Amino acid sequence: MFKEKKLIIFDMDGTLIDSVPSLSYAINYMLKAVGKDTLPEHIVRDFVGNGADVLIKRALLAKKEYQESELQQSYFNEAKGIFLDFYGKNLNAKTTLYPNVTYTLEVLKNSNYTLALATNKPIEFVPNMLEHFNIDNFFKIALGSGSTKHKKPHPQILQTICKELNIKPQDALMVGDSSSDILAAKRANIDSIALTYGYNQGINLKELEPTVVCSSFREILQYFK
């Protein structure tokens, strides 16, 4: 189905790595620092997928949705500073690579596909994590929050990657685990593979009509034969 594609763009958190344990560790450190009750990991897991700002706001309000007016900017800024500082020092403390990620990336790269990374994680954290798991050399380009003006589900980050690599959207594919990934791909006119094991915030990704749905990372290889 995707054998003729030239570029495969991957999400990071919930797709390549399970970073929720480390994120939960940092979120609860932040919550204690600002005098709030801590949250169980499964709750934090539901808050992940739309970038650090959204994660922090959801944690401070302890709910999936929030109104901007519900948080004072100074309070949010203080909490964000605490979170980013602690998380930056503990990026890989409890983070793990999903099964068969290295193997699958290696097969795809050896099959002459160009691989790229598009994540909503702050870009300053990305190189360290890719190097830690020894997967940095697979990617021709890696962009994150701060690399472009808009984050996923806006298509800008995917469009930027295609432009930088001089590859047309119809020759690209997005692989991700959340609605942000699938919607960004749709808006960029890029085919997508939705992974069901990541951080989908309780959303049935099939309803977003990705091109393909897979339940494991290695399963994507069958579509490149």
Q: Which of 11, 13, 18, 191 is catalytic?
A: 11
Closest of 131, 107, 103 to residue 117, by C-alpha: 131
Q: Using a CB cutoff of 8 Å and minimum separation of 24, what contacts does 153-160 make?
A: 153/179, 153/180, 153/181, 153/183, 153/184, 153/187, 154/184, 154/187, 155/184, 155/185, 155/187, 155/188, 157/118, 157/184, 158/9, 158/118, 158/184, 158/185, 158/188, 158/190, 159/188
Clarify whether 11 is annotated catalytic.
yes
Q: Which residues are catalytic?
A: 11
